[in-house]
Amino acid sequence: MNSEVRTFRVIVRGEFRDLSEAQRDRLRAELDQHDLLTSGYPESGSLSYDAELRPFTVRCQVVQPADRPDQEATDTGTLVAIELLERAELGYDRLRTSATCLEDVKVNRPKARR
């Protein structure tokens, strides 16, 4: 483990706002490309949503120096989500962000059977 950096998995949840009928049609046509179960955590962010076209999730990975506050990773993840949504010209509201540092996750390995 490299203690000079910390890697965060950031999840930003929100709701689409003021979608036009053309935007709704486009999102529905691309629905299979935005499934939560197949989305990863790219640095550029991945957008997931369902056919309801109200709630959405943006996932991304943020790597930052270990001496930076964890809140900075959360803020960076939020900015990634905003940039992704604005690039796609999608209105959004009610953003909520959470982040998990992978270096802090404890892995419980199964005990060997004898």
Structure tokens given for 25? 């049609």
Q: Is residue 13 part of a domain?
A: yes
pLDDT in tens, 54-95: 999 999 999 999 999 999 999 999 999 999 999 999 999 999
In this structure, is residue 110 part of a structural domain?
A: no
Domain residue limits at 58: 5-104
Q: What is the pLDDT of residues 18-44, one digit of tens each?
A: 999 999 999 999 998 887 777 789 999
pTM, two decimals, is 0.85
Asked if 24 contacts 72 with a C-beta cutoff of 8 angstroms, the reply is no
Which CATH number is 51's domain given?
3.30.70
In a domain, 15, yes or no: yes
- Please answer whether residues 14 and 98 qualify as being in contact, where contact means their C-beta atoms are separated by less than 8 angstroms: no
Measure the CA–CA gap between 26 and 13, rounded to whole angstroms: 20
Q: Which amino acid is at 28?
A: R
> Is the separation of the CB atoms in 6 and 73 below 8 Å?
yes
DSSP state of 68: S
Q: Is residue 113 part of a domain?
A: no
* Structural domain count of the chain: 1
Answer whether residue 114 is part of any domain: no
